[in-house]
Amino acid sequence: MAERLENSEEVSKNTESGACRASREGRVPCPHNDCHGSAVFFQRGAGLDVHFRAKHGAKPDATTEKAAKQKLRKLCFEEMKQRLQDIEAQEQEGQQYEVACPALKTTVTATRPEMAAKKVGIILYAGGFLHTYASKAN
Ligand SMILES: [Zn+2]
């Protein structure tokens, strides 16, 4: 009973935290096929290393962390796209702008084209498709 409670708590905690938050906190998902679809994140380096040895009985190699980062970026991108859809569902004002680029094809509602571009920029940035130009200005 206690274990079940603990597990469901763990699941909701992981769902709430999300991939983008994990990214900010330096955590990555396990890229192993057996962990596909799992929303559990591990501290980069040692955390993933321990999980990999315990769960998959193997030492992570050089490509593991790279694969983990790629998976994280993809998950965060999906999360941001979902968030955009949620925001869009509540958007009342403005007009619709069709956005089409290699990484993302969607319709966004905004009062001005600049605002539409800004929204899409946030999503693309989360997906790792943009570089941080802003960091130079700050
Ligand atoms: Zn794993």
Q: Which pLDDT belongs to residue 13?
A: 44
Q: Domain limits at 110?
A: 2-137
Q: Find how far residue 5's CA is from the centre of its chain.
A: 26
The Cα–Cα gap between 129 and 77 comes to 9
* Alpha helices (runs of H) in the chain, residue ranges in sequence order: 2-24, 46-56, 62-90, 113-126, 134-137
* pLDDT at residue 10 in the model: 47
Q: Give pLDDT, residue 131.
A: 67
**How many Å from the N-terminal Cα to the C-terminal Cα in the chain?**
51
Overall number of domains in the chain = 1
CA distance 104 to 69: 20
Does the global pTM surpass 0.75? no
Instruction: Please tell me the predicted confidence (pLDDT) of residue 134.
Output: 52
CA of 81 relative to ligand 1 center, distance in Å: 25
In the reported structure, the alpha carbon of residue 118 is separated from the centroid of ligand 1 by a whole-number distance in angstroms of 36
| The pLDDT of residue 128 | 79
Neighbours of ion ligand 1 (CB under 5 A): 30, 32, 35, 55
Extract the residue ranges of the chain whose pLDDT is less than 70: 1-17, 131-138
